[in-house]
Structure 1
Amino acid sequence: MALESLVITRRLRVPMDPSPEPVEGTPGAPAARQLDAALLSVGFACSPALLDRLGRLPAGEVVDLGVRVLAAVRTLVGDHVRHNAYFVDFPRNVPDTVEFWAGLLAEALRDPVAAGRVSPGNLLTLPGYGVYRHSYADLLAAHAELVPLAGDRVTVLDLGGPLAAEAEALFASLAGSQVPLSPEDVTLLRDLAAVCVGEPGRIPVRENRAVLNEARFAAGRPPLVDTVTDVLRLACGLSGGDVTLLGPTRFRSFTRAERRALLAALDGVATTAKLGDVPRHREQWKRLGERLHAHEHPRFPRAAHVFEVARGERPAVSLPGRVETALAAGRVSEALRLLGDSPGALLRRLDHLLRAGESPSSVLYAARQAAASTSGRVLLSLREHLQNRAAASAPRVFANRHGRAWVTPDTRPPLDGGVVAEALALLDEEIGRRLPDPGVLVVDDDVLDVALPLSGKAVAPGLGLLPRGSVSSIDGELLRFFVHWRENERTTDYDLSALMLDADYGDARHVSWTNYRTGFAQYSGDLTEAPHGASEFVDVRLAQATRPIIIPQVDVFSGERFDDAAEAFFGFMIRSEDQLGRPFEARTVRAKSDLRGAGRVALPLAFLRDEAGGWRAKWLHLYLKGHPAFNQVESHRLTTSLLVRSIVEREYLRVGYLVDLLRARSAVTDRVTFVGLAAPADPPPGARVITAATLHELIPG
């Protein structure tokens, strides 16, 4: 995607050069109004400042820019493809499941040739099943125009600065992020690092630092490293491998100059204390050693020690290993002393240390000392962990960078309530101390229930997406979620479905290709191949719902994984029953996200009815491993309900927590900080604006 389109879709800003003088000849104002109307049809609008700037351009330039802007936002919302439905009249005139299969059987029996191609016992081989039986034009003809309503989504596009400046700002935001980025953002950071000249003064996330080191290395500048693992990450990045070190990398052959530079960087950080990090990635170090030939460079003796440790020729015990030994022997004081040089590790082990038998006061004293030198992300993560320890019956939830999660009972002894309260107080004090004075703080209440993005790895970029655990309100009559995919090399069948549970996460019902409808939900029909793209939908009439928990699910029934498909995305719409329109209407889309990962079952979010009868969405961003093929909503019911319940019942640390601390810090009135899901239409000059796309900038350093 072009840099301009990336800025538009990631920041919702249209890059433009400084305002020109009003043009002579054909003015751009009429073309700007036409662009605004076209944008409104897909749920976007120009800010007043953007409209004014467009009006100062020649009409031809406005048209050219408008084509690019419209293409970018249509892709963002999923309107760049044609969303056909299996049944041309969907959601009207959809047969029930038995009626549908009976109709296909009757058709097959009337055609002996077609009937001969049906596999015995396999109804999916019936002629006409799983493929569109009408064109997209037929679908359009069968549906009346959408009735626009005031409640339809309108996302404002703001006026940006010059493209180079906008790219630099995006680069600085990603590179300086306090939280790990999604794989898509890491790729974007790598692309930006190749064209941007600036560089943040502090790059807290090691993976981001590795990406920037690739650019520095290519430019002949020394890499920024302070551990041996930093050098390993750099070598992986230079080889096109995984800078997270979670997967193996096939190292390329380095030139002699590259080997010398890598060994010099390694020699500069390979102290005796840091050699303990080598065994954790022993095999990767061995493979890298085969490429660097450290024996050919005797002036880098400490670099050679790294590979000796990897081969087991030199002893080296890591800090975690020494701490584990001390704790296993009951020497908690020794463990605290060892962890004193690694404050982040101490706080990550605080729960264990408080249960290890040492006086809680001494452990909390060490924690207070460590908190002053630990990243804000670790402090916030520990805060979230401790506030959930009070719920003794809550299960433990683990999720990895791919969104794969598992749940296990919490068998740890409970922590004393007074100790937890004291730990929370010291964390609140340190987190609050690090927050800047916001000046006049303006907050959109809708953002208060959004979970703080303590990691961005599980969230693919898209429209309206929020971090795992976030809650957003649903205000509409008809909930329609959708999936679209286009196969790459193999015939691929994705299935959209919904699991519906009672308040105790039981009494399950579902709607899918095996059960087309319930009393309040309806499936659009099953498509089993997508050489040119395919879309499936599920409608839920919220007022009639007899289950308070609705969980959309996308299953890989056969063919390519989400990562392997040419395209795959999920989203949901909110509309009124009488809005009519096509099955997909861009201006009613509230959220849209790419599907990715090795898992074969996607659980993007859950819809929950509260005690007052209103509905809200809770974001999951989970993927189940699933089966190699033939995944169905029925076969994963227990796993899905257990995972969703654990996420729903967990108390996530939310934006409202930091907002309360920021309000306590506010002292000056000559600047403004705005925090909301979207930017205000006309913020005051110099205001700091934090939106859903930049929530990571709230995390203190």
Structure 2
Amino acid sequence: MERPLESLVVRHTLRVPAPSGPAGEGGPAARRFDAALLSVGFKLSAPLLEHLSGLAEETVVETASRTLDTVREMTGDHVAHNVYFKDFPANVPDTFEFWAQCVREALADDGARPGTLAQLSTGVLDLLTLPSYGNYRHAYEEMLAAHEELIAAAGDRLTVLHPGGALDGEVTALYLALAGRTTPLGEEGLRDLARLAEHCAGGPQPAEIPVRENRAVVNRARLGLGAQLLVDTVTDVLRLACALSDGDVSLTEPTRLKSPSRPVRRALLAALDAVVAASPAKLADVLAHREEFKRLGERLHPHEYPRWPHAARVFAVARGEEEARTLEGRVEELLGEGDTVGAARLLAAAAPGRLLRSLDRLLRQGAGPGEREAVASAAEEALPRVSGRVLLSVREHLHHRTGGAPARRVFVNRRGGAWAGADTRAPLPEAEAGRLIAALDAEVQRRLPDPGHLLVDPAVLDVALPLSGKATAAGLGVLPRGSLSEVDGELLRFFVHWTQTERSTDYDLSAVMLDSAYDTLSWLSYTSLQAVGGEHSGDITDAPAPDGASEFINLRLGAVAGDFIVPQVNLFSGEGFEEVAESFFGFMLRDGEQLGRPFEARTVRMKSELRGPGRVALPLVFLRGEDGGWRAKWLHLYLRGTPAANRVEENRATVGTLVRAVVEREYLTVGHLVGLLAGRAAATTEWDGTEPPAGPVTYIGLERPEGLHPESVVFTPENLGALIPA
């Protein structure tokens, strides 16, 4: 769905672009707007309320309508969340009693009785064939009437919307921020950047677009304007071709390339020709995507354009007609000869980022202290030429590779597919690892800006550094994989919503409880509607548009046994997470006496899009602390699962293994960067929620507080990626 530009600004920045309209008496309308926002957990900041109050009423009403639509979608309140059991979480029946009731109702149904009797005679019964199973038995309005009004509580979420500037200025600023990010964007971020680039590609541009996927999206818009393309490798051109075909610009998934028009063919061939003419060694990059370049050549017809002979060489290499020696091949030759130091020096000169990514292997293959010292020295000399994201990624890696490292490894691909296994590698020598960690910290600190007065919300310190947007799903209140956040409430309620596109689709929300050894204690699912401390809202097996389907799990945290709660969404049948029209997961926190409907937007703490490659989604895990309190650790992972009929009973062992690997891993956090920034700050203050300092500050926190000096620099989860130095 293509979102209006104003909606993109609100979603990414929590700023409302200044409406254009005449002055007037908009105070009453602005206060009604603020009250409506409160019902979904948002509010207007004092400056924004004041600004709107000075506009004409019709302008305020139009702004309110657009903004409410946006924030309701952000929380998941844009759809009607019904439940199978109308009184949920009250009066949820015993699982087997419920199934028996469905059988009795089928036997009383003249149409269903013969088939049900035939199944019963075999001893096996398919629940999905029972008329009263899996479909809502009451209207949404009937469900609402069965629930008392939600009681307001101090712990309800309250997200503040701040005033923005003129729409064009806000859109341009957002475009520059996303395009110039030093870390990759997630799927939704790339879509939003593409939308912004259509509007902004002809205007101001960031000084640099370091992330290749972002560059491909921007190049598509620049190509439409006839502007110069930003390419310096042959792979940049391949990514652009994928963007033009609405494919995967990360090159992770194959793209069915379209046949471009003649002007586009000429532009792509000219770009390839210029890259190879300037640096023939870059032909080696073709080998990493040989088949894709073959298909691209079939669509560009390079033989028709002899004026670009260097472009033709790209496709000759792809077909194997011309040899291009790769850097990797030369490195492997040196390593095969036992020349570890030579391999390190070659990488340092030609590809310093690859040298740092290869440090683990090079240090382990070093024949002795002298070789390891030479490898470490080569790495130290290369540090100034390596991106900040790689520096921090390697810093995190080295932390886990000394003698005290965990015994298990977790592997996560770019799309969230995950698996875990034993770490059989020998630990790295502590002397070299410690030396390199110190050098990495010093280089990152050197690149960080002088923050002046640094003001920090302590709640943000355990947020994992967003080294890639692909480690964070799109949504509200979502944090990067590995982040920890406090869970403050008596009732924890999960929800999943999905709307199928063409085929009948059945997702099953489940939650498994694990003990301290990560073994299963119990679970809640459609096969276990009640367990210690919780209830399941009932199985829905079809989710047609426009209303889709929802399922919930309610947990009283004080009654939960075990040390871990792992919610999961299992694909039982139908369309995958990337095929449905919409799918999202989230959780709510409530006080014990709040009552309310199964879904209440202002109690939603997190709402995360489900868009991944597997058949089992693991959004996060809840951990019990030594003090008995609970914290969430963010996963954003997908298990491959089986083609159909995925159930918590079958995957709980795999889930336990994977959760253990993530829980026991220490991720590099915002707290680490704050420590480095503090070394350059004029003053550092932990914000206690009171009135902030009067002068400009650099603020890092989960939400922007009101009252900051207008010249302050603010980092919140919406733009934490900007903390990563270039």
* Same fold flag (TM > 0.5): yes
**CA distance in 1 between partners of 2:48 and 2:132 (Å):** 50
Deviations along 1:628-686, one digit per CA (max 9) or x if unpaired, are 11110111111111111111100100000000111111148974111111111222011
Partner of 2:689: none
What secondary structure is seen at the aligned counterpart in 2 of 1:591? strand
Equivalent residue number for residue 392 of structure 2: 380
Q: 2:656 aligns with which of 641, 645, 649?
A: 641
For residues 22 and 142 of structure 1, what CA distance do their matches in structure 2 show?
45
Residue of structure 1 aligned with 2:480, choices 444, 467, 490? 467
CA–CA distance in structure 1, aligned partners of residues 455 and 7 of structure 2: 29
Q: Deviations over 1:65-89 (max 9, x none)?
A: 1111111111110111111111111
Cα distance change on mapping 1:282 and 1:685 into 2, 3 Å? same
Aligned partners of 2:581, 2:297: CA distance in 1, in Å?
Answer: 37
Aligned partner of 2:697 in structure 1 is 672
Which residue of the partner structure matches residue 689 of structure 1? 714
| 1:7 maps to 2:24 | no
Within 5 Å, give how 1:362-373 maps onto structure 2. 362-373=374-385
Which one of 38, 41, 44 corresponds to residue 46 of structure 1? 44
Give the Cα separation in 2 of the matches to 1:645 and 1:125: 38
Q: Distance in 1 between matches of 2:507 and 2:213?
A: 33
SS of equivalent residue, structure 2 residue 636: strand
For 2:691, the equivalent position in structure 1 comes to: none
Residue in structure 2 matching 1:87, options 81, 85, 88? 85
What is the CA-CA distance between 1:329 and the residue it aligns to?
Answer: 2.0
- Give unmatched runs, 5+ long, in structure 2: 120-124, 685-694
Question: Gaps spanning 5+ residues in structure 1: where?
Answer: none
1:286 — aligned with what?
Answer: 294
Would the alpha carbon gap of residues 100 and 430 (structure 1) be closer, same or farther in structure 2, given more than 3 Å must change?
Answer: same
Structure 1: distance between partners of 2:264 and 2:498: 42
Query: What letter matches 2:452 in structure 1?
Result: G
Question: Where does residue 500 of structure 1 map in the other structure?
Answer: 513
**Hey, what's the Cα distance between the residues in 1 that align with 2:350 and 2:619?**
40
CA distance change for structure 1 residues 294 and 112 in 2, over 3 Å: closer, same or farther?
A: closer
Question: Aligned partner of 1:547: which letter?
Answer: G
Residues 341-379 of structure 1: CA deviation (Å, up to 9, x unaligned): 211011010111111125221111101111110000000
Q: Deviations over 1:223-270 (max 9, x none)?
A: 111111112212222233222122223333333333232222112211
Higher mean alpha-carbon deviation, 133-142 vs 34-43, is at 133-142
Question: In the alignment, is the contact (CA less than 8 A) between 2:462 and 2:484 conserved in 1?
Answer: yes
1:224 is aligned to 2:230: yes
Q: Does 1:315 align with 2:323?
A: yes
Amino acid at match of 1:454: L
Q: CA deviation at 1:473?
A: 0.2
Matches within 5 A, 1:651-662: 651-662=666-677
**Structure-2 separation of matches of 1:77 and 1:627:** 31
TM-superposed deviation, 1:316: 1.0
> Which residue is equivalent to 1:413?
426
2:55 maps to what in 1? Answer: 57
Instruction: Tell me by how many angstroms 1:490 deviates.
Output: 1.2
Q: Aligned residue for 2:582?
A: 567
* Counterpart residue number, 2:459: 446
* Residue aligning to 1:354: 363
Larger mean CA deviation between 471-480 and 197-206 belongs to 197-206
Which deviates more, 42-51 or 128-137?
128-137
Query: C-alpha displacement at 1:22, in angstroms?
Result: 5.0
> Which secondary structure state, in structure 2, belongs to the residue aligned with residue 247 of structure 1?
coil
Identity %: 58
- Of 94, 97, 103, the residue aligned with 1:96 is 94
Distance verdict in 2 for CA 1:668–1:409, change over 3 Å: closer
CA distance in 1, matches of 2:284, 2:448: 34
The answer on 1:511 being equivalent to 2:524 is yes
Q: Structure 1 residue 117: deviation in Å?
A: 4.0
Tell me, yes or no, if the aligned pair for 2:106 and 2:132 is still in contact at 8 Å.
no
Contact 1:437 / 1:668 at 8 angstroms: preserved in 2?
Answer: no
Name the counterpart of 2:305: 297
For the pair 1:199 / 2:205, whether they are aligned, the reply is: yes
Name the amino acid aligned to 1:545: V
RMSD (Å) for aligned C-alpha atoms:
1.6
Cα distance between partner residues in 1 of 2:682 and 2:156? 38
- 2:512 is paired with a residue whose SS is strand
Spell out, residue by residue over 1:31-84, the C-alpha distance to the aligned partner (whole angstroms, 9 max, x if none).
Answer: 111111111011000000110010001112111111111111111101111111
In 1, Cα distance between equivalents of 2:115 and 2:233? 64
Verify the 8 A CA contact 2:512 2:520 in the aligned structure 1: no
Cα distance between partner residues in 1 of 2:262 and 2:536: 61
Task: State whether residues 394 and 650 of structure 1, in contact with CA within 8 Å, keep that contact through their aligned partners in structure 2.
Answer: no
Residue in structure 1 matched with residue 168 of structure 2 by the alignment: 164
Question: Aligned partner of 2:523: which letter?
Answer: H
Aligned pair count? 697
| Aligned mate of 1:75, from 58, 73, 76 | 73
| Alpha-carbon distance in structure 2 between the residues aligned to 1:326 and 1:48 | 65
One-letter code aligned to 1:635:
E
For the 8 Å contact 1:438–1:671, the answer to whether it is kept is no
Instruction: Give the 3-state SS of the residue equivalent to 1:429 in structure 2.
Output: helix
1:603 aligned residue: 618
* C-alpha distance in 2 between matches for 1:17 and 1:105: 59
Output the CA distance in 1 between the equivalents of 2:594 and 2:19.
40
CA apart distance, 1:521: 1.6
What is the distance in 2 between the residues matched to 1:446 and 1:665? 21
Alignment correspondent of 2:137: 133
